[in-house]
Amino acid sequence: MGIIRGGEAEYHENEVSFEEKTEKLEEMLRSALQSDASVLRLNGKYLATDEAKIISLSDQAKSLKILDLSDNQITDEGMQFLLESENLVDLEELNLGINFITDKGILEAASSSTLAIKNLKSWTLSDNKLTDASVSELVKSANFNALESLDVGWNEIGNGTAKALGETENMKSLRKLELERGYIDDEGIAAMAEGQVMEHLEELNLSANKMKDEAAKILASAPKLAKLKLLRVSQNLINDEGAKALGDSSTLTNLTHLYMGRNYFGPEGAQAVCETKTLKNLKVLMVQEGVETTPGLFNFSRPELLRPEDP
């Protein structure tokens, strides 16, 4: 398309054709897969729908077990190309974090009868445009029963997702669940703790939600969380009473890692956890995480980036 400026100069917008994109991406795949044909990591490459389609159609993708397309511009349509690709039937790990996926795409995937990827074990969908409306249907869908790890953190999800996790009869293979920076409160935790899916969990991330003491008490006494090895409840609203409940838990005895810093409990609550007589398998215990002193953490000026408030 020509754009004339001042009647003299003419500027052209060069639209790259699908064929040109295909040629360039196929070469990128050849290079990326040279050392290991089962792993493809193309995170942060500004890839969008066309590129997702090209990957789905490429014969080079047939041996893939791990596909990382995080931090790109992939939409619902691009995700659909991937999930329905006959070339990706052996895919076990798919990372689509930090993209442009919405409720529409997840709802379609949850109800789809044309998915080719049926043995996906790990799926990352963090930091997209998802809400309870789609994630609640995703966890109840039978399409992803092989999942062992699911990351839907940094989305606008809350008690709707938590309740669906408490109700679902699917996802019984789930071992790792990431729900960081959501809106789950005590009511959601109560519903989630009753679910069958909790019985096999080994890692649960509930950092930066809206849990108070009651939620901590529920987690501490939930019999279905007995297999849990790692629990993250940092950046919530837990006070001394909740911290004491976790420190006195006779259910979470398999915990090896417990992260609970940046809450509201004081020395009394911290001491109860540090001097626990029941959590005998703990190898890592974090009760204080100061943004001013801890390397790798940022002191955001916007508190909602640390713990989201009501949307």
Q: What is the pLDDT of residues 131-182, one digit of tens each?
A: 999 999 999 999 999 999 999 999 999 999 999 999 999 999 999 999 999 9
Range of the domain at 270: 18-305
Residues 6+ away with beta carbon under 8 Å from 199? 172, 224, 227
CATH number for the domain that contains residue 267: 3.80.10.10
Residue 58 to residue 45: CA distance in whole angstroms: 18
Mean pLDDT, the chain, whole residue set? 90
pLDDT of residue 288: 75
Residue 50 to residue 42: CA distance in whole angstroms: 14
User: How many domains does the chain fold into?
Assistant: 1
278 belongs to a structural domain: yes
148 belongs to a structural domain: yes
Residue 249 to residue 260: CA distance in whole angstroms: 14
52 belongs to a structural domain: yes
109-123: average pLDDT = 96
10 belongs to a structural domain: no
Name the CA dihedral angle for 225, 228, 232, 237, rounded to a multiple of 10 degrees.
Answer: 20
118 belongs to a structural domain: yes
Residue 29 to residue 51: CA distance in whole angstroms: 11
Residue 231 to residue 204: CA distance in whole angstroms: 5
pLDDT at 6 over 90: no
12 belongs to a structural domain: no
119 belongs to a structural domain: yes
Residue 27 to residue 6: CA distance in whole angstroms: 41
pLDDT of residue 114: 95
Amino acid found at 241: E
The number of CA neighbours under 13 Å toward the Cβ of 79 is 28
| H helical segments located in 100-140 | 103-111, 132-140
13 belongs to a structural domain: no
